[in-house]
Structure 1
Amino acid sequence: MARPEDGRGRAEGIGGPGSTAPPPTGTTVGVIPAWTLRTMARCGAVLGLAAVAWLAFWLVLRLPLLSLTVALALLVTAAATPMAARLRRSGVPAGAAAFLLVVLLIAALTGIGFLVGFRASAALRDLTRPVAAGVDRIRVWLIEGPLGLEPTQVADLRNRIVTWLYALTPDPAAGARTGLYAASGLVLLLFLVFFLLKDGDRMWSWLLVRLPAPRREQVDGAGCAAWRTLTRYTGGLVVVALIDAVGIGLALLLLGVPLWVSLTLLTFFGAFVPVLGATASGAVAVLVTLVTNGATDAVVVLVVVLAVQQLEGNVLQPLVMGRAVHLHPVVTLVAVTAGTLLLGVPGALLAVPTLAVAYRVVEHVRTHPVPSPQG
C-alpha cells in the first residue's frame, strides 16, 4: 500500500522547485535564429550605405562647382604624383615640388586658354557662315540626292543646326560670366592641387588615426588601391590622348585645315571621355574639314580618325589602360552614358575613373576582410 508521502514526493519531484519539465503545449520560446539576426544586420548596413550615397549624390548636385573642382583636383593630383615623387627623390622639398608643378599647370592652362579662348573664338566667328553654307549643301543633297527626303523635314533640321551653330558664337556678357565662374573654380583647383601634392600623405594619415583600430589596415589598403588605380588611369589616359592628338593633328596640319591647333586640343581633351569623346571630336574635325577644304580632304581626315580610334581601341587601351581599368567596354559605355545623362560633360569625364576606383575598393574589401576578434 502506497504511503501518502510517496505521492507527495512524486508530486514535488514533478512540479516542484527546480523542475525541468517542458512547458505546456501551445507555449512558444522567443529565440531568434542567428541567420535572421545576420540578415537584419546586413540589410540595415545596406540601407545605411544607400542613405549615405544618396546624401552624397544630393550634395554633389547642389554644389556643382565645388564637386567638379574637387574631382578635377584629384585627377590632376593623380596625374602629377609620379612627377612629384621624382622631384622628391632628387632632393627637392615637398612644398617646392608642389609649387613647381602648380606653376607648370598654370603655364599649360594659360597657353591652352590663349589658343582656345582667343584664336578659336575669333576663327569660330569666321567659320560660322561657311559651316552654315555647308549645311545648306548637305540639305540640297538630302532632298535631290538618292535619299529623296521631304523638304519640310530637312528644312526644319537645317534650321535647328544653323541656329545651334550661331548660338556657339561667344556672347560677350555670357562669356564674362562664364569666365568669372571658371576663374573662381580654377583658383580653388590650384590651391587643392598644391596642398594635395604637398600634404596628401599627412592628410591620409590624419584620417586613418580617427578610424577604429581594427578597420585601419583594411581602409588603408583600400585607399592605396584606389589611389594606384586613379594614378595609373590618369597617366595612361594622358598617353592615349597625346597619341590621338598627334595623329589627328598632324593630318589636319598637312591638309592645311583652319583651326588645326584648336581641333588638336579638342581631340586631346576629348580622349579623356572614353568612347564618346573621341567620336565627338573626330566628327567635329571631319565637319570643319568638309566645310573649309572640301569632300576629298574630309574623307582623308575621316580615314585618319578611324585609324587612330582603331589603334586606340585595339592596342593602346589594352596595353596602357588595361592595368588600371579592369572594365568591359560595355560597362565603360554604359557608365559614360549614365554620367552624361546625370551630369553632362563632367559626368562623362568622371564616370569611368569613379567606377574603376569603386571596383578596386570593393575588390580589396572583399579579399581583405577585417580579422575577427580573438577570444
Structure 2
Amino acid sequence: MVDDGDGRSPATAAGAGRPAGPRQAWAGLPWLVRAAVTWSACVLVVVFALWALGRVAVLLAPLAVAVAVTLFLAALLDPVLVRLRRLRVPAALAALLTVLLLLGILVGVGVLVWNLTASQFGELTQQLDQGLQRSREFVTSTLPVTDAQLDKLVKQVRDGVSGSAPDPVGGARTAAEVVGSVLLALVLLFFMLKDGRSMWHWVLGRMTGPNRSTVAEAGRVGWRTLGSYSRGTMIIAAIDALGIGLALVLLGVPLALPLALITFLGGFVPIIGATVAGAVAVLVALAAKGPTTALLVLAAVIAVQQIEGNLLEPLIMKRQVQLHPAVVLVVVTAGTLIAGIAGAFVSVPIAAVAYRIVETVQRHREGGGPA
C-alpha cells in the first residue's frame, strides 16, 4: 500500500473526505440530544398505540363491557360453582344453578327495595330540591354572588346538559345496546362457569417452551386477584352502606334505606362513588334536619370512609389488589370516558389484574425463572 506522505493510505484519505454516514452522525450528537430524540419517539409510539386502543374500545364498548362484567361475575361466583362441583353436580347444571342464584338474588333484592322505597323516591326528589335551595341561600348569603349571577350559572349548566343529551334515536340505540350487553353477559357467564377451566387448559396446551409456566402462574394470580377484588368490593360496599345507613337512622334522617342503597352501589366505583353517595346523604340531611344534622352526617360519612380505607380495605382486599389512589382516579376517569358508568365499574378490577399479571411476569424474569 502506497503512503501519501501523512501516514494515511490513499483509500483512507479519500474516505476522510466523504460525509459521515447516519451512524457516525448519530454518534456525533450530544448524549442529551440523543436521549431526547429517543424518548420523544417512544412517547409518540405509546400515545399512538393508546389512541388506537381507545378507538377500538369505543367501537367495541358494549362487547368489551359485557366481557369484563362476565369475568367479574364469574370470579365472584366461582366459590359457589366449586362447592356445587364438589357435591358431584354436573358442570352444566352447576353453572345453570349458579346463574339462576345470581338472578334470584338480583331480582329479589330489587323487588324488596322497590316495595320498601318506591313511595319514598318522590319524597327523595323533594328533599334534594329543598337541600339545593338551602345550599343556594347559603352561597348567596356568604359569598359575593348575587341571585342573578347564580341563576345565570345554573341556566348555563342546564343548557349544556340539554345540549349534550342524546336524541330519542340515540337513546333507543343505547338502551338496546345495554339490554344486548346484559343478555350477552348472562350467556357468556354460563359458558364461562361451565367451560372456563377447560378453555384455560386448552390455551395452556397450545403453548410450548419455557413461557408456559409463566403464563400459567400469571393466569392464576390474575384470577385470584379478580376474585379477591370482586368479593372484597362487595363486602366493603355492604359495610359502608350498613354503617352510613345506621348513622342516618340514628340521626333521624328520612329515606335512610334508599340512601344506603345508593351508598352500596357507589362502593363499586372507588373514591368517586363513595364521594357522590356521601354528598347525596349530606344534602338530604341538610334539607330534612338542617345544617347541624348535615354536619353530623358528614362526620359519620368521613368516619366510615376512613375506617374503610385504613382498616377494612387492607384487611379484606390484602396487598395483592391495592392500587395507588392517583392510579384509581385516572383509571376510573378513563373508564367513564370510554364506556360511561359501566366503564367506571369495570376499570379498576381490570387495572388491578393487569398490574398483578405484569408484576408476576417481571418477578419471573428477575428471578431467573421462565420468562
Match of 1:232 among 220, 224, 228: 228
Correspondence for 1:128: 125
Q: Aligned-pair distance for 1:197?
A: 1.2
Correspondence for 1:356: 352
Deviations 1:77-106 (A, max 9, x none): 111112222222233333222222211211
Tell me if the contact between 1:232 and 1:323 (Cα under 8 Å) persists in the aligned partners. no
Correspondence for 1:40: none
Instruction: Tell me which moved more, 328-337 or 269-278.
Output: 328-337
SS in 2 for 1:363: helix
**2:106 is equivalent to residue 109 of structure 1:** yes
1:127-276 matches, cutoff 5 A: 127-143=124-140, 145-159=141-155, 180-276=176-272
Deviations 1:42-82 (A, max 9, x none): xx999999887665443321122211111111111111112
**Compared CA separation, residues 302 and 344, structure 1 to 2 (3 A):** same
- Root-mean-square deviation over aligned CA pairs: 4.0
Deviations 1:20-50 (A, max 9, x none): xx9964789xxx9xxxxxxxxxxx9999998
1:285-364 matches, cutoff 5 A: 285-364=281-360
Correspondence for 2:31: none
**Compared CA separation, residues 372 and 69, structure 1 to 2 (3 A):** closer
**Compared CA separation, residues 240 and 224, structure 1 to 2 (3 A):** same
Counterparts of 1:248 and 1:174 in 2: how far apart (Å)?
37
Letter in 2 for 1:344: G
**Compared CA separation, residues 51 and 206, structure 1 to 2 (3 A):** farther
Q: Aligned-pair distance for 1:214?
A: 3.9
Deviations 1:89-144 (A, max 9, x none): 2333332222222112112222344467787676444443443343223222322x
Counterparts of 2:78 and 2:184 in 1: how far apart (Å)?
19
Letter in 1 for 2:180: S
Letter in 2 for 1:102: V
Instruction: Tell me which moved more, 100-109 or 324-333.
Output: 324-333
Counterparts of 2:255 and 2:159 in 1: how far apart (Å)?
21
**Compared CA separation, residues 191 and 342, structure 1 to 2 (3 A):** closer
Tell me if the contact between 1:223 and 1:361 (Cα under 8 Å) persists in the aligned partners. yes
Tell me if the contact between 1:335 and 1:355 (Cα under 8 Å) persists in the aligned partners. yes
Letter in 2 for 1:131: L
Q: Aligned-pair distance for 1:245?
A: 1.1
Counterparts of 1:122 and 1:230 in 2: how far apart (Å)?
38
Counterparts of 2:321 and 2:272 in 1: how far apart (Å)?
17
Counterparts of 1:312 and 1:138 in 2: how far apart (Å)?
29
**2:90 is equivalent to residue 93 of structure 1:** yes
Extract unaligned runs of 5+ from structure 1: 1-13, 15-21, 33-43, 167-171
Higher relative contact order (CA 8 A, sep 6+): 2
Q: Aligned-pair distance for 1:318?
A: 1.6
Counterparts of 1:184 and 1:342 in 2: how far apart (Å)?
18
The number of residue pairs the alignment matches comes to 338
Q: Aligned-pair distance for 1:268?
A: 1.0
SS in 1 for 2:142: coil
Correspondence for 1:72: 69
Q: Aligned-pair distance for 1:173?
A: 10
Tell me if the contact between 2:58 and 2:338 (Cα under 8 Å) persists in the aligned partners. no
Letter in 1 for 2:87: S
Counterparts of 1:325 and 1:55 in 2: how far apart (Å)?
28
Q: Aligned-pair distance for 1:179?
A: 5.7
Letter in 1 for 2:64: S
